[in-house]
Amino acid sequence: MRNAPTILHLDMDAFFASVEQASKPSLRGKAVVVGGLGPRGVVATASYEARVFGVNSAMPMAQARRRAPNAAYLVPRFTVYRSISEQVMALLRELSPLVEPLSLDEAFVDLEAGGTAWDEESARLAGVRLRADIRAVTGLTGSVGLAASKMLAKIASEQAKPDGLVLIEPGTERALLAPMTVRTLPGVGPATGDHLRRAGITTVEELAEAGEDELVRLLGKAHGHALYAMALAHDDRPVVAEREAKSVSVEDTYDVDIHDRLRVGLEVQRLADRCVGRLRGAGLSGRTIVLKVRRYDFSTLTRSETLRGPTDDPAVIREAAARLLEAVDTTGGVRLLGVGVTGLADYTQEDLFAQAAQPHSAGAVEAAPVAAVAEAVPEPEEPAERHWRAGQDVRHTEYGPGWVQGSGLGRVTVRFETPQSPPGRVRTFSVGDPALEAGEPLPLVLDPGLTLSPTRPTPPSGHIAVPGAG
C-alpha cells in the first residue's frame, strides 16, 4: 500500500434529490424523495431532510410515504442526472487518467498517477479545488475522502458527508478502523456480518485480534485472508480506469401485471427502440439481442439471439426481440420486461436489415418479418388524456417553464420556477390544456464561461510541499 493519501473517493451528496432541489427552488431545504411512484416503486435517493424521517434508498415507496407523508415525491430524470454526472467525471479526468466510476455519482481517482498529488498537502489541495470546481460547474456539492487506499478513501468520504473533505493521515489508519463495525469493510454484507457476530466479532479491532487462521476457518480461505488484511488497513486494490461497456439495456417494471399479449408486444417494441437510442448515443452497435421477462410469479426468463454481425438498426433489433418473445409464455402476466444488446462494437454491419429473410442459427425462434409484426402489433392510438408525472419538466405558452407538482382527476398542478428564480407560483390546468407541453430540463448553472481553479499543480523537484488550502 502506498504511503501518501493520494487515492481520492468522490461521492455526490444525495445526488438525485440534490439535483431536484437545485432545479426547483421551492424544494430547497425540504424533504425530497426520488424514485418509482407506483405501488411497487422503491426509493432511488432521499434528500438529507427526508432521511431525518427514516427514508432511505431501496426502501419501498409506500413505506417512505408513511414515514414522510409531507415530502415531495418525484420521478427520476435520468437524462439530467447522466448529463451532470458527465460534467463531474470530466473534472475528475482532469485530475488523473485513472478514474474508476462506480455509479453516476461516485468514483475513485488515483491522484498520484495524474501528477496531481504526491503528499498530504498536495492531496488536500486537489480535493479542496475539486469540490470548488464541482460547485462552480454543477451548483451541487460532493464529499471527498483522501487516503492511501481505496477502502480508506471511501470510509473517509462517508465521514465527510455531507459537503465535506476528510483526509486520513498515514499512520492513523488502524486506530481509525478499530472501533468501527465489521460492516464498514468491503465484502462484509448482512450474512457475513451475522456470521461474525455469532462468533463474537463485531468490530474491526476484534476482527484483527481474531487472527488470520480463525477468519479463514470461519469464512474460507479467500474471504478470510482478504478481511484480515483489511482489518490491518491493508488494501492494495488499484484504481482501474473506466472499462468499456459490455452491454446496453433498458427495462421497465409495471405497477400492474400485463396480461394482454398485444400490450406485451408493444412494450417490447418500445423498449427495443429505447435500447437503440442508448446504443446510438454511445456510438455503439451489438450482435446479441437479449430479452428479459419477469413473470407474475417472480420467475425471470432471459432469451437471446446472436446476429451475423453488429447492428444499431431499430428494425432489426425490434424484430429479434419480437422473435424472442414468441418463445416465452406470458399468459399468467408480466411484471417486468427488458431488452438489451451485448457483443458491442463501435461499427455497424450494414446488410443486417435483411435478417428476417435469412435462416437463423439452431435454437433461434422463427417469426414473421418486420411488416407482419407491425400488422400483428398495431400502433397504440393517441390517448385521450396526457399523463403528467410529478417532477416532470413542462412549459406553458404564457407562464413559461415549470414542473409538475401533481396530477389527477383530469387536472395537473404546475409550479412555475427555474433554477435561478425565487420559489414560483402554482397554477392548475386541465390535463389536456393545449398551452401546456413537456419541457426541456434547464441548466443548474447558467454561466458556461466559468474560470475554474487550477487543479493540476506541478510537483517541484523532490516533491516539496505547495501551500495548502487550509
* Tens-binned pLDDT, residue by residue, of the chain (470 aa): 568 899 999 999 999 999 999 999 999 999 999 988 877 788 989 999 999 999 998 889 999 999 999 999 999 998 899 899 999 999 999 999 999 998 889 999 999 999 999 999 999 999 999 999 999 999 999 999 999 999 999 999 999 999 999 999 999 999 999 999 999 888 788 888 888 999 999 999 999 999 999 989 888 888 888 899 999 999 988 998 866 667 888 988 887 889 999 999 999 999 999 999 888 877 788 999 999 999 887 788 899 999 888 888 889 999 999 999 998 988 888 989 999 999 887 655 444 334 444 434 333 333 333 322 233 333 344 344 568 999 999 999 999 999 999 998 899 999 999 999 999 999 999 999 999 999 999 999 986 554 445 444 555 444 433 333 33
- Cis amide prior to 162 (ω within 30 degrees): yes
List all residues 6 or more positions away from 468 whose beta carbon is below 8 Å from its beta carbon.
121, 124, 125
Amino acid at 327: A
Nearest 5 degrees, angle CA 62-CA 65-CA 71? Answer: 150
105 is in an annotated binding site: yes
Give the active site residue among 20, 49, 100, 106: 106
E-strand spans in 188-284? Answer: 247-258
Pick the closest to residue 118 from 469, 466, 470 (CA basis).
466
The pTM for the full model equals 0.70
CA-nearest of 150, 78, 136 to 107 is 150
User: In this structure, which long-range contacts are made by residues 350-358, counting pairs with CB atoms below 8 Å and at least 24 apart in sequence?
Assistant: 352/307, 352/308, 352/309, 352/311, 352/313, 352/316, 353/313, 353/315, 353/316, 355/307, 355/308, 355/316, 355/319, 355/320, 356/319, 358/308
| 11 annotated ligand-binding residue | yes
CB 320 within 8 A of CB 364: no
Residue that is written with C-alpha cell 428476417 in the block? 356
Active site residue 251: no
The size of the chain, in residues, is 470
**Rounded distance, CA 377 to CA 151, Å?**
52
Nearest alpha-carbon partner for 35 in 24, 49, 47: 47
What's the grid cell of residue 385? 388524456
